[in-house]
Amino acid sequence: MLKNVKYFAEQSWLLIAASFVFGLLLAVTNTAWGPMIEQNEINKFNNLASLLLTDASFETALKDVEVDSGKGKKIKTSIKKGVSRDSDCVGWAFVCEGSGFADKIKLVLTVDAAFEKLAGFGVLASNETPGFGDKIKGDYYRNQFVGAPAAQLVLSKTGDDKIIDNEIVAITGATVSSEAVVKTVNNYIKQIKTCMQTEGLLNNAE
Amino acid sequence: MPSNDSANVSFARTFAAGIWNENPVLRLLLGMCPTLAVTAAVKPALTMGLSVIFVLFCSNIVVSLMRNMLKPHLRILMFTLTISTFVTIADLFLKAFAPVMSETLGPYVPLIIVNCIIICRAEACASKNTLAVSIVDALGMGAGFTLTLCVLAGIRELLATGKVFEIQVMPGAFVPWAAMGMPVGAFITLGLLLGAVNLITRKNP
């Protein structure tokens, strides 16, 4: 037994020591730059959301709302209220997360004040295939969500992308990424709406 | 013991090898993925090149320092561990200080972890040579990679948009070749560059 432990230590001490040192180095780097990265993400969220809900400023309405990812995993998100200059509620914005083709896709989703229509989405983070899956950031795909009902959306491979309804036309060559966005939106819309109704936020907005 | 002069000449040769004789892209055909993917414009190409220089420099230093302690069957694991640490640092740096560029480069910065140039230099140079040689090799190879990326990106950006470094170069009458900004443009430009380099370096029979 002791002989085996000694052999293991002889063979792997450098690997263990290096893992510890590199882990420490990454922890220090992450601690130093983490807040800046977080701030950049907040700025990006605000920029994207204010493009979708024109001229709105955002204040947190509900923090740490737990959303089921669909695979049994709970993801926390915050619901932000879009407020106009006259202090009227112009809509709601929140971050959505789902599995894409290559990696997680993070979206900023905005809906109108009554939670009846989508105001659109913006891509916060995605590593989808350049030239194919990353077309979810393009106007062709994103414009189909602007004004679409805040209810169950359906993905179709053919159709007219100019017609705004609950049918979203997939991007050619990027069906998986297109489907991932629709699934993520459907998942969040349903759960966030229920949560906001429970908290009485929707009635207040109306 | 070699004199300072001969050591300097040897360092200069090692550095120059990375730029031309052993240029990682044009002569060794390594690192093709970022070469084709991020050369639509000079700015992302330069950022990718600088990121690779940083990772190559740091990983060569670490690998060279631990070369006598490496167990042969664990060496690739150690190289990957070392490289992935510095790639993560480079990725975090870009996300913190250049978020727009980080987004433009997308997955290609994390993909430096599997870039053949870096593993190749760790295996072929840093694990067998002194610290000084490893550093010079990293800088030479990194500079060669960066220069090639910038030349390729310069040609593509010029023909695709009429600009270089986002500065208008071509006259107003120039009609941009949109295809040069697309993947097809990357393949054609790289192929022509490789052909030109082969023509220059062809030895007369």
pLDDT band at B97 (very low <50, low <70, confident <90, very high): very high
Q: Is A14 on the interface with B (CB under 8 A)?
A: yes
- Mean pLDDT (whole number) for A166-184: 93
DSSP letter string over chain A? -HHHHHHHHHHHHHHHHHHHHHHHHHHHHHHHHHHHHHHHHHHHHHHHHHHHTTT-EEEEEEEEEEEE-SSS-EEEEEEEEEE-TTS-EEEEEEEEEEE-SSSEEEEEEEEETTSSBEEEEEEEE--PPTTTGGGGGSHHHHGGGTT-BSS--EEESSS-TTS-SSEEEPPTT-HHHHHHHHHHHHHHHHHHHHHHHHHTHHHHH-
Q: List pLDDT tens digits, range A95-115.
A: 999 998 877 899 999 999 999
Q: Whole-structure pTM over 0.80, yes or no?
A: no
Q: What is the mean pLDDT of chain B?
A: 91
Q: Which residue matches tokens 């070392």? A: B82
| For B77, nearest residue in chain A (alpha carbons) | A15
What pLDDT is stored for residue A192 in this prediction? 94
| For B70, nearest residue in chain A (alpha carbons) | A14
pLDDT band at B2 (very low <50, low <70, confident <90, very high): low
Query: Nearest-CA distance from A199 to chain B in Å?
Result: 35
| For B67, nearest residue in chain A (alpha carbons) | A14
Would the pLDDT of B95 be above 90? yes
Query: Nearest-CA distance from A31 to chain B in Å?
Result: 11
Would the pLDDT of B1 be above 50? no
Query: Nearest-CA distance from A62 to chain B in Å?
Result: 27
> Shortest CA distance to A158 belongs to which of A184, A134, A178?
A178
> Shortest CA distance to B93 belongs to which of A43, A28, A41, A33?
A33
d(CA B62, CA B72): 16
Torsions phi, psi for A131 (to 5 deg): 90, -20
Considering only the beta carbons, identify the residue of B66, B85, B182 that sits closest to A14.
Answer: B66
- Ramachandran bin of B165, using left for φ above 0, alpha for ψ from -120 to 50, beta for the remaining angles: left
- Mean pLDDT (whole number) for A128-155: 89
Q: Give A-chain residues touching B96 at CB under 8 angstroms.
A: 33, 36-37, 40
pLDDT band at A130 (very low <50, low <70, confident <90, very high): low
- CB-based burial of residue A123 (10 Å sphere; 0-12 exposed, 13-18 middle, 19+ buried)? buried
Would the pLDDT of A206 be above 50? no
Q: What is the mean pLDDT of chain A?
A: 89
Torsions phi, psi for A39 (to 5 deg): -65, -40
Query: Nearest-CA distance from B81 to chain A in Å?
Result: 7
> Shortest CA distance to B57 belongs to which of B151, B145, B150?
B145
**Local structure of B163: helix, strand or coil:** strand
pLDDT band at B177 (very low <50, low <70, confident <90, very high): confident
Considering only the beta carbons, identify the residue of A12, A22, A127 that sits closest to B85.
Answer: A22
Q: Is A103 on the interface with B (CB under 8 A)?
A: yes
- Which of B88-92, B136-140, B178-182 is the least confident region? B178-182
Would the pLDDT of B65 be above 80? yes
d(CA B128, CA B121): 10
Q: Give B-chain residues touching A104 at CB under 8 angstroms.
A: none
Considering only the beta carbons, identify the residue of B69, B92, B107 that sits closest to A30.
Answer: B92
Q: Are strands A167-169 and A154-156 parallel, antiparallel or unpaired?
A: parallel
- Which of A50-64, B70-84, B137-151 is the least confident region? A50-64
Query: What ipTM score was computed for the predicted complex, to two decimals?
Result: 0.86
- Mean pLDDT (whole number) for B14-40: 92
- Mean pLDDT (whole number) for B102-117: 90
Q: Would the CB atoms of B85 and A127 count as touching at under 8 Å?
A: no
pLDDT band at A87 (very low <50, low <70, confident <90, very high): confident
pLDDT band at A205 (very low <50, low <70, confident <90, very high): very low
What pLDDT is stored for residue A203 in this prediction? 65
Residue of A127, A128, A134 to mutate for B, most B C-beta atoms under 10 A: A127
Would the pLDDT of B205 be above 60? no
